[in-house]
Structure 1
Amino acid sequence: MEKRWEIKEQPNTEVVKDLRESLNISEVLAILLAQRGITNFAQAKSYFNPSLDELHDPFLMKGMCDAVSRIKNAIDDEENILIFGDYDVDGTTAVTLFYEFLTSIYSKVFFYIPDRNNEGYGISQQSIEFAVQNNISLVIALDCGIKAHEEIKYAQSKGIDYIICDHHLPDRSVPKAYAVLDPKQKGCRYPYKDLSGCGVGFKLVQAYTEKFNLPKENLLPLLDLVAVSIAADIVPITGENRVLAYAGLKRLNSDPRLAFQQLIPTNIKNNVNISNVVFSIAPKINAAGRIKHGSEAVRFMLSTDEEDCRKYLNDINSLNNERKTLDLDMTHDALFQLDQINTKEKYSTIVYDASWNKGVIGIVASRLVDLYYKPTIVCTKNNEGEIVGSARSIQEFDIHSAIEKNKDLLTQFGGHMAAAGLAMKEENFEEFKIRFDQTVKEMSNGKHFTPSILIDKEISFNDMTRSFLESVMRMAPFGPDNMNPVFISKDLLATDFRLVGKEHARLYVHQRDTRITFPAIGFKLGKFGPKLEKGQSFDMVYTIGMNYWQGKGTWQLNIKDIRFND
């Protein structure tokens, strides 16, 4: 699918001038900083050197005092405490983090991850029964619970208190739990709203540590978990998330927990970035919850025994391979379904098969978004006979809002702008398909979506000095709202083109009016090979990165798109 190229609006020239002079940097780098909201020396200093000292006071979060005092009372009274969390990476890292912290100061602690197929998302009836059977009187629910009104009410009738630590959008009211921690809830004056679920759990640990004068150094081993959750849950890499991701990556590259040591590919040890977490670490952690059970991932991340850790890793690798096979088969089936209809007339993509694995439908939805560039929902049937779906969106569309407009057809839904989950009675499915597509049409003003690449700046290869390249890399960690800068350079030629695998391109690129050459790689851009080999000039959109081989890094341009000059 052809992509639109859009160059960002250039920032105020006075701001750029001030940044150039105060930081003694190039105009291009000053523009990149200004585009990211950095307008003065102090902001730039914080941006390039994020510090844990910049973390906000955790007691600014609504409900924090109550949560901390309830945990302290539970410990003093020797109550049984249950750590509960979702089965995805954010949930399992959150449970690992809080269980590891709490068991370092107290022994009567359990953890519980719901079964994706038999219990589904969030606080389940089965988990409450587990708490009753094990005489648990306090449950700390992580990365879920913000919509569990009835479940919390039922648990309270059984004498169980809940502390909810969530980051999802709440309903108009929140459950009547003992304490609710969610920066997005009404009346919460916490300054940063975009923490991951694990991040909210970390703030509770931070608060408890500060309140009872525990060593702050005890927080450091938990930071690798927070960084993995931030990367996997695709939350903005701004503000406090940037500080936590920066510190967490530092931990991953210097002293990661045993599980992460085994997950990090050899060629990037000590050089792990957010992208590596997303593509190398997170999928394997996720595989346990998708195919078998999320508790396997928690045990793996908690493990301090090398032999045990290796066994968990072997199991997780097997589950991940099974996940890959299911992913390919289900994507093939979904594409076959879509071939039978006129997708061009549709504003959304919805597919359903009762036999599909519930743990993989989210991945398939993401693949269909890449192919069709439309808000997408992939559905299957759960054990209760309901149709459940995993929704993924495109950059400019709020899929949670579109689903909410049709909530009268649903039994359950939740999520955020980019991704959501839902459930409905089977008899409502056909009507939901029609109404959801109409909703997308109305919200997009009847226009079909076209993928676009937002470009920060046109530059010449002469601009790419070593100092400039190093400064761009210091803008990391990259992710939502702090993306790796995207550049365009024109009138380029390629040499030494070769195909990697079936569809990837590896080549060297130089600009006609310079003598500078860079190695480059283009994923799924092998189709351009014939024209590149003929020596046809082209314009190229790309990001700057490092390619590591045997511990050594070399500069590399990561191609996003090419247009030939006919």
Structure 2
Amino acid sequence: MLQSKMKWKFTYSNENSDVMHNGLTPLTQQLLSKRNITSPEAIEQFLHPSIDQLHDPFLMDGMKKAIDRVKQAIADQESILVFGDYDADGVSSTTLMIEALREAGADCDFYIPNRFTEGYGPNEGAFQFAKDSGFSVIITVDTGIAAMHEAEVAKQLGLDLIITDHHEVQEVLPNAYAIIHPKTSTDYPFQELAGVGVAFKFAQALLGRFPKELLDLAVIGTIADLVPLHGENRVLAAIGLQAISRSKRPGILAFRDICSIEGDMNEETIGFTIGPRLNAVGRLQDATPAVELLLSETFEEASEIAKFIDQLNQERQKIVAQIAKEAEEMLAERGPDQENVIIVAKEGWNPGVLGIVASKLVRTFDRPAIVLGIDSETGKAKGSARSIDAFDLFANCMEVRHRFVHFGGHAQAAGMTLEVDQIDELRQDLIKLAEEKLEPEDYQQVLEVETTVPLDEISLQQIDEVNQLRPFGMGNPKPLFHIQHAPKEIRLIGSKKNHLKFNFQKNDAKVDGIAFGMGDVYAQLAPADTLDLVGELGINEWNGRKNLQIMIKDLCVKDWQLFDLRGSRHVEKSIDIPANETFKAVSFQGINEAPHQLPVHRPEELKGEHLDGLIFLDLPETMEDLKNLLGEVSVSKLYVCYRVEESTFLKTWPTRDHFKWFYGMLVKRGSFNLKVDTEKLAKRKGWDRSMVDFISQVFFELDFVKIENGLVTINSQPSKKDLQESVLYQQREEQLRIEQTLYYSTYKELKDWFNQHLKKQSKIVKEEVFHGL
């Protein structure tokens, strides 16, 4: 058995949908039903998003007032400052707003605060700079809804502050000239827009038309900011991906070049390629180059900036890897017992990447993680936190709010500042809360499985149909499917041999399985194991050929496993013993050395044992000895490591005719000298020397002959006995059966035999199964 690393949550219902739509397969209908999309109208809108599904921007409170003020500023030639944020949503929002203002004829510029010197959001110094620089109107994008003090500062400075934002609304709203926010607009039908989505709505209202030329910007922030991809967000993401795939914007073309992006872009291109690079700028320095890239008017200019941004991203990756390594070393020094909540802190850690490091620690250890950078001058620690599904980070941290100087966030992510001397106390507080509220299974990552799919039902058509649900993201996760099948082939791939590739076949269906970073599991998989696996279905296209594949997220083996190492001289290398599993070695004939220096036990010492792994070092003396052992132990994995130096099975087994001929030869000759005549007889008859010796010894045991100094003579008065009465004959027959069954059998034959005699398992692979939607 091989346990899954994650908890599988089967969320589907076996009930079929009553709704048929355009010939969709039952699987696709099931996926739509789970997303509460069941009516023909809803299905049509979901599968074919269009601008007709977008709402009137003037339904947002404050929109008309804000647009009127901007148009007045344009007419009066007033300068407008766009105040943005330093993440991908903020950068794309800033760019989009600048382009819309410029097209409307505005005199405008942008300002993005420095994460390290100014912190997050509007600040008094920036507003004073705007006033001194001659700006009279400030439009925030992707920020500002919590800027109560700064709004008052703007009024005192004579600046008209227009806030466009999408973050959580506080109990008190800033006293701004106008606030444009979906969640403050009771008449606006959709409240989950990203910051760039709100900016896009503003641009549409300002220009008096649908600004399709800005869709390539709108899609970046919408996907990168992880807002739910339904409603208007789905429309902006879907048509935005089409737009960015065709975009001639120099900044986008430069990204294509530097990142080797070919063909149409999808949500993964934004989420894993473009978004992280735009985010990297603000994590390591001022985010201005990211906006300048998207605003570039020539490819040459954009290309230079893109190269610089790509270098920053590489530097960011190295910094993250180094901090994560240092954090893991800290945890290792604390001892083998994993803390329920991880808190690590060190001076010199870059605060811009600590959220990414926290995410890596959560994925590695399945624990909530807080990563803090210490400022020795102020005596404070500042950082970020990420959590697991079962631990509400915001709620639990609020229970110990007194430990923080500043704290904010939500259930799965947060930022905080605290005094250095409060770090240990915070660690103990949160560990105690986790011990009180969490169960052991809560520390496993959860995979929500859409449905189980038979291998031969996977087809290019089915995958194409599932892909109609794209773009995937928050609120519309990429479907995970469960498959149960034995692979035809398993091999290690990659330069470091740290990935697995499977080949599955059933009838005419062929599916490749790829499991990145799971090379360590290779030694724990036995030939012909039926695998249960969860992953994403997709199509791998290479040289014009399309192959079905599943990107494996997790796998397990529910049945007991047999590892066939018969005759191997490299047993030590072939056996992997997980740290949390109990392995023992057994010898029937007194072998005293075992792989990995395991203690060697006699069969009778293992009675009643419950083991993860049992290693057989040699063959039993009788089949009954092995059957008795298998009936007394409960075990998940069997390793057969025995070798046969002198095989009984490979030697010629004498038949009754052989015995009859030899006896007749003795009667004629009167005697036979084993020392002199054996070689001659074996050569003449084509027998093995050992067969002559064996026949002679059996006759001697049955008292048919006498043997003195190697001379065999007939006993004049032999008793009537059958060959089966000879203990030597029985032993040879038993040894032949043992070798034939346990050593020279095929893998399937051997496993079938063990299956018949192995004690029923007491261990099972546990699954969390939730029926219904």
Partner of 1:143: 142
For residue 518 of structure 1, report the CA deviation from its aligned partner. 1.5
1:83-482 paired onto structure 2 within 5 Å: 83-185=82-184, 188-210=186-208, 215-216=209-210, 219-264=211-256, 268-341=261-334, 346-381=339-374, 386-438=380-432, 444=438, 448-482=442-476
CA distance in 2, matches of 1:139, 1:347: 46
Distance 1:408 1:363, change over 3 A: same
CA distance in 1, matches of 2:438, 2:524: 36
2:193 maps to amino acid: L
CA distance in 2, matches of 1:200, 1:264: 26
Deviates more, 1:231-240 or 1:45-54: 231-240
CA distance in 2, matches of 1:389, 1:156: 33
For residue 23 of structure 1, report the CA deviation from its aligned partner. 3.0
| 1:321 match: secondary structure | helix
| 2:534 match: secondary structure | strand
CA distance in 2, matches of 1:267, 1:492: 36
2:520 maps to amino acid: K
1:292 maps to amino acid: Q
Distance 1:240 1:424, change over 3 A: same
2:154 maps to amino acid: A
Distance 1:32 1:377, change over 3 A: same
Greater relative contact order (CA < 8 Å, ≥ 6 in sequence) = 1
For residue 498 of structure 1, report the CA deviation from its aligned partner. 3.2
For residue 361 of structure 1, report the CA deviation from its aligned partner. 0.8
- The reply on whether 1:17 has 2:15 as its aligned counterpart is no
Work out whether residues 141 and 163 of structure 2, in 8 Å CA contact, stay in contact via their aligned partners in 1.
yes
Work out whether residues 253 and 269 of structure 1, in 8 Å CA contact, stay in contact via their aligned partners in 2.
no
Distance 1:421 1:222, change over 3 A: farther
- The reply on whether 1:489 has 2:466 as its aligned counterpart is no
CA distance in 2, matches of 1:162, 1:552: 56
1:61-72 paired onto structure 2 within 5 Å: 61-72=60-71
For residue 433 of structure 1, report the CA deviation from its aligned partner. 3.8
CA distance in 2, matches of 1:380, 1:302: 34
CA distance in 2, matches of 1:552, 1:153: 63
CA distance in 2, matches of 1:531, 1:424: 45
CA distance in 2, matches of 1:235, 1:301: 22
For residue 66 of structure 1, report the CA deviation from its aligned partner. 2.3
Work out whether residues 495 and 533 of structure 1, in 8 Å CA contact, stay in contact via their aligned partners in 2.
no
1:191 maps to amino acid: P
For residue 11 of structure 1, report the CA deviation from its aligned partner. 6.6
Deviates more, 1:475-484 or 1:521-530: 521-530
For residue 105 of structure 1, report the CA deviation from its aligned partner. 2.0
Work out whether residues 161 and 178 of structure 1, in 8 Å CA contact, stay in contact via their aligned partners in 2.
yes
CA distance in 2, matches of 1:325, 1:455: 34
CA distance in 2, matches of 1:525, 1:79: 60
For residue 206 of structure 1, report the CA deviation from its aligned partner. 1.9
Q: Is there any run of 5+ residues in structure 1 with no aligned partner, and where?
A: none
CA distance in 2, matches of 1:33, 1:7: 16
1:227 maps to amino acid: V
Work out whether residues 455 and 485 of structure 2, in 8 Å CA contact, stay in contact via their aligned partners in 1.
no
For residue 270 of structure 1, report the CA deviation from its aligned partner. 2.4
Q: Deviations over 1:13-41 (max 9, x none)?
A: 4xx122xx333222222111101111111
Deviates more, 1:397-406 or 1:27-36: 397-406
- The reply on whether 1:31 has 2:25 as its aligned counterpart is no
Work out whether residues 268 and 551 of structure 1, in 8 Å CA contact, stay in contact via their aligned partners in 2.
no
CA RMSD of aligned residues (A): 2.6
CA distance in 2, matches of 1:274, 1:293: 26
Distance 1:274 1:331, change over 3 A: same
Q: Deviations over 1:542-565 (max 9, x none)?
A: 111233557876543111111124
1:101 maps to amino acid: A
Deviates more, 1:493-502 or 1:449-458: 493-502
Partner of 2:754: none
CA distance in 1, matches of 2:230, 2:293: 29
- The reply on whether 1:539 has 2:532 as its aligned counterpart is yes
Work out whether residues 168 and 416 of structure 1, in 8 Å CA contact, stay in contact via their aligned partners in 2.
no
1:206 maps to amino acid: Q
Work out whether residues 535 and 550 of structure 2, in 8 Å CA contact, stay in contact via their aligned partners in 1.
yes
After TM superposition, where is structure 1 displaced by more than 6 Å over at least 4 residues in a row?
A: none
CA distance in 2, matches of 1:256, 1:532: 49
Q: Deviations over 1:255-310 (max 9, x none)?
A: 25222222237765223211221111111111211112100100011112111111
For residue 425 of structure 1, report the CA deviation from its aligned partner. 4.3
Distance 1:478 1:398, change over 3 A: same
Work out whether residues 478 and 484 of structure 1, in 8 Å CA contact, stay in contact via their aligned partners in 2.
yes
| 1:109 match: secondary structure | strand
Distance 1:345 1:316, change over 3 A: closer
Deviates more, 1:494-503 or 1:329-338: 494-503
Work out whether residues 164 and 198 of structure 2, in 8 Å CA contact, stay in contact via their aligned partners in 1.
yes
Distance 1:65 1:45, change over 3 A: same
Q: Deviations over 1:436-463 (max 9, x none)?
A: 4455556658984321211110111222
For residue 107 of structure 1, report the CA deviation from its aligned partner. 4.1
For residue 339 of structure 1, report the CA deviation from its aligned partner. 2.1
Distance 1:196 1:31, change over 3 A: same
CA distance in 2, matches of 1:548, 1:353: 46
For residue 342 of structure 1, report the CA deviation from its aligned partner. 5.9
Work out whether residues 500 and 518 of structure 2, in 8 Å CA contact, stay in contact via their aligned partners in 1.
no
Q: Deviations over 1:513-532 (max 9, x none)?
A: 53311122212112233355
Deviates more, 1:230-239 or 1:374-383: 374-383
| 1:559 match: secondary structure | strand
Percent identical: 32
1:520-535 paired onto structure 2 within 5 Å: 520-531=513-524, 534-535=527-528
Distance 1:349 1:496, change over 3 A: closer
Deviates more, 1:68-77 or 1:27-36: 68-77
Deviates more, 1:526-535 or 1:111-120: 526-535
| 1:283 match: secondary structure | helix
Distance 1:448 1:508, change over 3 A: closer
Partner of 2:739: none
Work out whether residues 453 and 483 of structure 2, in 8 Å CA contact, stay in contact via their aligned partners in 1.
yes
Deviates more, 1:53-62 or 1:391-400: 391-400
Partner of 2:73: 74
For residue 114 of structure 1, report the CA deviation from its aligned partner. 0.7
Work out whether residues 82 and 110 of structure 1, in 8 Å CA contact, stay in contact via their aligned partners in 2.
yes
Work out whether residues 269 and 551 of structure 1, in 8 Å CA contact, stay in contact via their aligned partners in 2.
no
| 1:147 match: secondary structure | coil
| 1:276 match: secondary structure | helix
| 1:353 match: secondary structure | strand
CA distance in 2, matches of 1:374, 1:158: 47
For residue 409 of structure 1, report the CA deviation from its aligned partner. 4.3
Partner of 1:49: 48
CA distance in 1, matches of 2:435, 2:167: 26
| 1:493 match: secondary structure | coil
- TM-score of the aligned structures, taking structure 2 as reference length: 0.67
Work out whether residues 169 and 416 of structure 1, in 8 Å CA contact, stay in contact via their aligned partners in 2.
no
For residue 381 of structure 1, report the CA deviation from its aligned partner. 4.0
Distance 1:172 1:401, change over 3 A: farther
Distance 1:267 1:356, change over 3 A: closer
